[in-house]
Amino acid sequence: MSSNYLDGIEDGYGLAQPLPAGLGELASSIVDAYLKRPEGLVYAQDANGNPCAMKGATPSMTFTITGALSPGNNVVATVSPAIVRPDMVGEVLVLDYSEPAIMEACTVMATAGNNQITLGNVQFAHGANATADVGRVISEDRNMPSKRSIARVAKWPIINVVSLLGRYAYGRRSDQVGGLYQEMNLLAAVQTFGGPPQWIPITVTQSSWSDSTGEIWVPAGMLLAYYSDVRIKYVAGYAQAPEPVVRATAQVANSISALGGVPGAVKMFSAGDKKIQTYLPTVLDADIKALLDPFKARLLY
């Protein structure tokens, strides 16, 4: 599902009324691409007002829960298709996204077999065949700085960290030589011979983060050792699109309309005695970029 920052916008931006079908989505997708935020800037809330999903995110997988779910903690659910994996622990499932009154985000706490999961907390009752979407929240894997417990995410402002996991990888060579790793202890043996490092769930309430800088403090794990990597699943953005983004999107839409519906890559357009010429391969001019730059993702991928 793509963003549409022009949805419901009528006056003050010079937009044609009614707006041509699909133009708002096209202009918004160009804006999101420039911002490096494919999930968009606007989040969705559950019935209790908790931010639980990004409106512009496209789910990577949708499960169907075969039986009804009742509210509670550690709720066991059977899902289809039967492709549940042990490493799904910590995954965030958004239940019944198409029904705002019962939509919510739940974290997978455990798995059993290939079709059974345990959800940490279910707020609302869900009927049989409820949908469970994977990929509706932002997910990032970050390397932790050496000997520090702070990571930084790319999207901001952070509104809600839904799930947090950490893992131990083999130490950096400089740390090993410096004597910071004891090569004969249990942790070193697991790191070296135990196969791929496992992701360990971290209690989100034990962490803290800065809305403005995107930094998140992660508590130490077993043996009070800092994690090597963290996996953060979170919601970031706004309840509604900021005015500069709406204005920039409107300018993009107007530029596309002026070019006859072609979103860029046009050098000359002529219709009768009207001629439009441009040397830019994009509808994003310097003024539009200046409006959008404060909202760009801060880390490169």
Show the tokens assigned to 169: 């990888």
Same domain, 49 and 103: yes
Same domain, 166 and 228: yes
Give domain status of residue 8, yes or no: no
User: Cα–Cα distance between 264 and 204 in angstroms, integer?
Assistant: 44
User: Cα–Cα distance between 185 and 24 in angstroms, integer?
Assistant: 59
Tally of CB atoms within 10 A around 111: 18
CATH label of the domain that carries residue 91: 2.40.30
76 phi, psi to nearest 5 deg: -90, 135
Give domain status of residue 6, yes or no: no
Same domain, 148 and 130: no
Q: What is the pLDDT of residue 104?
A: 97
Q: What is the pLDDT of residue 209?
A: 95
Give domain status of residue 2, yes or no: no
Same domain, 105 and 151: no
User: Cα–Cα distance between 57 and 25 in angstroms, integer?
Assistant: 13
Give domain status of residue 114, yes or no: yes
As for how many domains the chain has, the answer is 3
Q: Which domain holds residue 259?
A: 23-42+240-295
Same domain, 213 and 249: no
User: Cα–Cα distance between 125 and 93 in angstroms, integer?
Assistant: 15
Q: What is the pLDDT of residue 183?
A: 54
Q: What is the pLDDT of residue 266?
A: 53
- Which of the listed residues 65, 100, 134 is the one where a domain comes to its end? 134
Same domain, 118 and 83: yes
User: Cα–Cα distance between 254 and 167 in angstroms, integer?
Assistant: 48
Give domain status of residue 12, yes or no: no
- Which of the listed residues 236, 252, 268 is the one where a domain comes to its end? 236
Same domain, 250 and 190: no
Q: What is the pLDDT of residue 8?
A: 85
Q: What is the pLDDT of residue 233?
A: 98
Same domain, 64 and 110: yes
Give domain status of residue 10, yes or no: no
Burial of 22 (0-12, 13-18, 19+ CB in 10 A): exposed
Give domain status of residue 3, yes or no: no
β-partners of residue 141 are: 231
Q: What is the pLDDT of residue 174?
A: 53
Ranges in the chain, pLDDT < 50 = 173, 177, 265
Give domain status of residue 224, yes or no: yes
Same domain, 180 and 207: yes
Q: What is the pLDDT of residue 176?
A: 52
Q: Prior bond to 219 cis, omega within 30?
A: no
User: Cα–Cα distance between 169 and 230 in angstroms, integer?
Assistant: 11
Do residues 114 and 84 make contact, with C-beta atoms less than 8 angstroms apart? yes
Distances (CA, A) of 147 to 179, 200, 280: 13, 19, 47
Same domain, 88 and 27: no
In 135-273, DSSP assigns E strands to: 138-143, 150-152, 158-167, 200-201, 208-209, 215-217, 229-236, 268-271
Same domain, 206 and 278: no
Same domain, 232 and 145: yes
- Which of the listed residues 134, 162, 177 is the one where a domain comes to its end? 134
Q: What is the pLDDT of residue 168?
A: 82
